[in-house]
Chains A and B, each alone.
Chain A
Amino acid sequence: MFLTEKKDILEIDESLKKYKKIGIIGCASCASVCLTGGSKEVADMERHMTAIGKDVTFTISIDEPCDKRVLKEDIRFVEDEIKNTEAVVVLSCGTGVQTIGEFIGKKVVAGTDSKFIARTEHIGKYDALCGGCDECRLNFTGGVCTITLCPKGLLNGPCEGHNGINCEVYEDKECVFIKSYELLLKYSEEENLNKIFNPRDYGKLAVKSSKI
């Protein structure tokens, strides 16, 4: 799931000050799970827009607004209303906001801040475990990502700042390299203990729209 947080409502209001006729689109996938763009949040936003004197032309929740195929299907239900709309508040991650903006060709306003790919512990408790770095090393690290879980994103061992157990930055958390070491021993993967990783290839990250 991609984690989002609600934006400060004053920023949304400021972005919409030139516009009167407002549409609201929610995301029934990730943003719905993290309570930033589900049907309840869409209804809340509709009430707020009405309260500040806007005309809400339509509201809709789209299953996956980041998927153009799904968006194309679902947006047909409000096709006519969009024509009569000046700006759309999108309650989804940044990918959804941009996909919708490009598709409908209208002003879009992000209603959330995009955070990270998250594991859900429970509603309100999320952890970042994967940074989508394009060069997954989990098969060599005992299954923990040192790039994401180490605040310095190191590849080849702990920094000089840990205290033997905990991270220099997140002092209440175990250093991921110590965890990795323990897991490699547990799985008897001694051959991976001495692996040296090449520096990361950031050239790959520069081409994010690559075909897979």
Chain B
Amino acid sequence: MYIIPQIETPVSENYLVFEENLINLLETIEKSGLNVNDKNPEKHFPDLILEQNFGVNGLVLCSDLIKRGCGGFKTAYAFSMRDKNRISILSDLITLKQIGIKDIIVSEGLHPSKTEFKTAKPVYDIDVLGFGLTLKSRLMSDFSDSNGNNDGDVTCNNIDNIGKFDFFNFGVVSGMTSFADVLKVKKLIKIGADRIILNLANRTDYSAENLEKPLMIDIINNIKSEKKEVFLYVKELSIGYSLEDFLKKVENLNIDGVIVKIIDEKANVFIHKALK
């Protein structure tokens, strides 16, 4: 099973110290054998996911980690549609390309009313489908012509260009508890998503029966039948029991790995396991 830690960029901590700790964490994980890609040895998944929330700019950290000679560790950059419009996203993508980051993970993002910034205006300029569509078929160029007019069609009838631009491994976080999620995942695959990350983070019950629901298994198998990668996304604090026990519960699912959101790079389930 391939396990990837995901962490938000630091808010108050010095980012250089944070990076040192991250490198220690990655070395610990490597030694503990948690990120062994036994199912897909030919694939090189990210070793770490840096999530942009309201902390230090994630692009700076991605760049800095590479400069520090951590080339052996592959970092993915995660951001949400809540915080960036298409212009800002394009700027990020250009930067990512230049610093050599190929893996991106996008989500719609937690609504500001559920964060400590309750009065903030969320962006949601485009949704993850719209982002993927423009990323994979238009390289984020605008839908309008040189005169500022678009074709007036609200639906996308032409996806012939999908895959024309393949600069990034495009991962998307999705729900997996309704048929509306099944449809969304199908659309994501259609527009060229490379990875689907199924969100378990808002669940509090990780009992076996909750982890083996027919709908969830169907979604996973549909993704795999399209030869796309699929990961589960959990928060370490929500697991409720040991990481090993959780991994045992999901090892029979047809997934490529598990992304574990950690809060602290110095004290987390990975360090805890290593200490044991």
Contact = CB atoms under 8 A, between A and B. Distances in A.
Interface of A: 135, 137, 140, 151-165, 168-169, 175, 177-178, 180-181, 193-203
A175 B173 CA distance: 17
Contacts of B107: 159-160
A194 B183 contact: yes
Given A157-B187, A161-B175, A181-B178, A198 B153 contact: yes
B130 A155 contact: yes
Contacts of A152: 81-82, 108-109, 111, 122, 124, 127
B124 A157 contact: no
Nearest to A201: B150
A178 B177 CA distance: 10
B143 A199 contact: yes
A202 B197 CA distance: 30
A161 B110 contact: yes
Contact of A197 (B111, B156, B159, B199): B156
Interface string B129-156: 1110110000000011000101001111
B180 A178 contact: yes
19 contacts: A140-B155, A151-B113, A152-B127, A155-B130, A156-B128, A157-B187, A160-B174, A161-B111, A161-B202, A168-B110, A168-B202, A169-B114, A177-B180, A181-B179, A195-B155, A196-B155, A198-B133, A200-B125, A203-B144
By secondary structure, the A interface counts as loop
B191 interface: yes
Contacts of A155: 127, 129-130
B126 interface: yes
Nearest to B159: A196
Nearest to B111: A169
B163 to A, nearest CB: 15
Contacts of B143: 198-199, 201
Contacts, number: 133
Contacts of A195: 155-156
Contact of A175 (B154, B156, B180, B187): B180
A159 B49 CA distance: 20
A163 B202 contact: yes
B86 interface: yes
Interface of B: 81-82, 86, 107-111, 113-114, 122, 124-131, 133-134, 143-144, 148, 150, 153-156, 159, 173-175, 177-181, 183-184, 186-187, 190-191, 199, 202
Contacts of A154: 108, 124, 127
B129 A196 contact: yes
A165 B133 CA distance: 27
A165 B183 contact: no
A156 B173 contact: no
Given A157-B184, A195-B155, A199-B86, A162 B127 contact: no
Given A155-B130, A161-B175, A164-B177, A201 B144 contact: yes
Given A160-B174, A160-B175, A196-B190, A153 B124 contact: yes
Contacts of A178: 178-180
B67 to A, nearest CB: 32
Nearest to B199: A160
Contact of A199 (B111, B133, B179): B133
Contacts of B86: 199
A168 B82 contact: no
A164 B202 CA distance: 11
Contacts of A137: 154
A125 to B, nearest CB: 21
A180 B166 CA distance: 32
B178 A194 contact: no
A194 B187 contact: yes
Contact of A135 (B110, B154, B184, B187): B154
B3 to A, nearest CB: 20
A156 B184 CA distance: 7
A190 to B, nearest CB: 10
A35 to B, nearest CB: 28
Nearest to A193: B183
Nearest to A169: B111
Contacts of A162: 175, 177-178
A160 B178 CA distance: 11
